[in-house]
């Protein structure tokens, strides 16, 4: 026997939202996920009038879902959404997702642009892994450093000042614990969701899905037939993140809503750390090589690149 949706009291429920006790039909579930993203956007003033938003789209479920949600909820205020994708140069992995992104964007009528590590740094990720000077430099740190720069440059080249990423609530909590266990307290302050402008073009980063459970984003993507890449990155090295992920999921199973409680506490901690003098507002310098914002004389991108140059 099927149960009735507790919102519209009309349709059959397809989902039981354990932490709230609601039963939701397809339509009410989709609406509630989009409403949550909308609320997060306004709560932290993520997008202001006149902003141009670039959505960082990898081809995974979170980023394509983000693009779909923003397209639906911003259609009146911000019709100029653009999808930006970085091609790291990972054979057999990135090609599939580039294809998915291109098709999805053309289906929903959003312009998309791609920039590759090879074009930008003269070095694909495959090549970087082949010639890396030491395996102490992890694949994810090389890739992350290069990808952040590529995304900034792509956004700037499109005239965008806001970069939206698909991080969800689970990612946010995991990141907190990773920083906490690494003793990286200052970094916790950086994660406070109110956007801070950086760089000479005043870029800001936002995470509109950060108050939505990963599980619900998967369900959203499945119900709307959003295609996404299932292939995992061959260089993926996330042992600590995966450990936190599975611990937090088991806790949530026993105590529904515990992730929300954790999220709310983390927000308060992040806000406090952020407002501590010298925590974030340390003097910004300019990289002596590329002239971009940096906390040291040489930025992390130029530093990483120099390791490869020395070697060749
Ligand atoms: Zn309903
Ligand atoms: Zn630099």
20 occurs within a structural domain: no
3 occurs within a structural domain: no
**Residue 244, both tokens:** 């936190």
Query: Would you mind telling me the total number of residues written for the chain in this entry?
Result: 312
Ligand 1 center to residue 209 CA distance, Å? Answer: 22
Ligand 1 center to residue 23 CA distance, Å? Answer: 8
172 occurs within a structural domain: yes
Task: Quick: pLDDT tens for 268-303.
Answer: 999 999 988 765 555 678 999 999 988 889 999 999
Ligand 2 center to residue 234 CA distance, Å? Answer: 28
Same domain, 148 and 95: yes
Residue 221 CA, chain-centre distance (Å), reads 16
12 occurs within a structural domain: no
Same domain, 152 and 298: no
276 and 189 Cβ atoms separated by less than 8 Å? yes
298 occurs within a structural domain: yes
Tally of domains in the chain: 2
Same domain, 197 and 75: yes
Residue 276 CA, chain-centre distance (Å), reads 26
**CATH number of domain containing 252:** 3.40.50.620
Same domain, 106 and 36: yes
Ligand 1 center to residue 217 CA distance, Å? Answer: 18
What does the pLDDT read at residue 233? 84
Please state the three-class secondary structure of 55-119 as a single string. EECCCCHHHHHHHHHHHHHCCCCCCCCEEEEEECCCCCCHHHHHHHHHHHHHHHCCEEEEEEHHH
d(C-alpha 113, C-alpha 157), whole Å? 10
Same domain, 184 and 290: no
d(C-alpha 146, C-alpha 168), whole Å? 22
Ligand nearest to C-alpha 9: 1
Residue/partner pairs of 176-185 with CB below 8 Å, 24 or more apart: 176/262, 176/266, 176/269, 176/270, 177/244, 178/240, 178/241, 178/244, 181/240, 185/273
Ligand 2 center to residue 176 CA distance, Å? Answer: 27
Task: Give the DSSP H or E segment for 253.
Answer: helix 239-254
The residue whose two tokens read 């984003």 is 217
Same domain, 227 and 307: no
Residue 154 CA, chain-centre distance (Å), reads 16
Q: Which residues surround ligand 1, an ion (CB under 5 A)?
A: 5, 7-8, 11, 25, 28
For residue 248, give its domain range.
29-281
79 occurs within a structural domain: yes
Low-confidence ranges of the chain (pLDDT < 50): 311-312
Same domain, 277 and 300: no
Same domain, 174 and 311: no
**Residue 293, both tokens:** 């914002």
Collapsed DSSP state (helix, strand, coil) of residue 203 = strand
What does the pLDDT read at residue 312? 47
Same domain, 54 and 79: yes
Q: Which residues surround ligand 2, an ion (CB under 5 A)?
A: 287, 289-290, 299, 302
């Amino acid at each position: 026997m099927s149960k009735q949706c507790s919102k519209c009291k009309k349709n059959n429920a397809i989902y039981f939202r354990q932490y709230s006790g609601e039963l939701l039909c397809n339509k009410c579930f989709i609406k509630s996920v989009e409403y949550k993203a909308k609320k997060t956007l306004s709560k932290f003033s993520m997008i202001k009038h006149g902003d141009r938003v670039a959505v960082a789209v990898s081809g995974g479920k979170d980023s394509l879902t983000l693009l779909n949600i923003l397209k639906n909820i911003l259609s009146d205020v911000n019709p100029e959404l653009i999808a930006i994708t970085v091609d790291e140069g990972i054979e057999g992995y990135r090609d599939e997702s580039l294809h998915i992104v291109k098709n999805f964007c053309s289906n929903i009528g959003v312009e998309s642009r791609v920039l590759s590590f090879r074009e930008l740094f003269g070095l694909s990720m495959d090549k970087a892994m082949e010639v890396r000077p030491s395996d102490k430099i992890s694949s994810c740190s090389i890739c992350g450093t290069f990808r952040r720069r590529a995304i900034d440059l792509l956004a700037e080249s499109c005239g965008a000042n806001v970069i939206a990423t698909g991080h969800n609530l689970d990612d946010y909590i995991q990141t907190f614990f990773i920083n906490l266990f690494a003793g990286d307290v200052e970094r916790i302050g950086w994660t406070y969701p109110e956007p801070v402008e950086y760089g000479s073009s005043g870029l800001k980063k936002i995470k509109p899905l950060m108050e939505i459970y990963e599980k619900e984003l998967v369900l959203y993507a499945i119900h709307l037939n959003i295609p996404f890449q299932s292939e995992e990155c061959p260089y993926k090295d996330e042992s600590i993140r995966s450990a936190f992920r599975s611990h937090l999921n088991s806790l949530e199973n026993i105590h529904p809503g515990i992730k929300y409680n954790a999220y709310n506490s983390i927000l308060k901690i992040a806000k406090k750390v952020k407002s501590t003098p010298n925590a974030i507002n340390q003097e910004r310098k300019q990289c002596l090589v590329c002239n971009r914002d940096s906390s040291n004389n040489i930025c992390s991108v130029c530093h990483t690149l120099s390791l490869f140059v020395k070697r060749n």
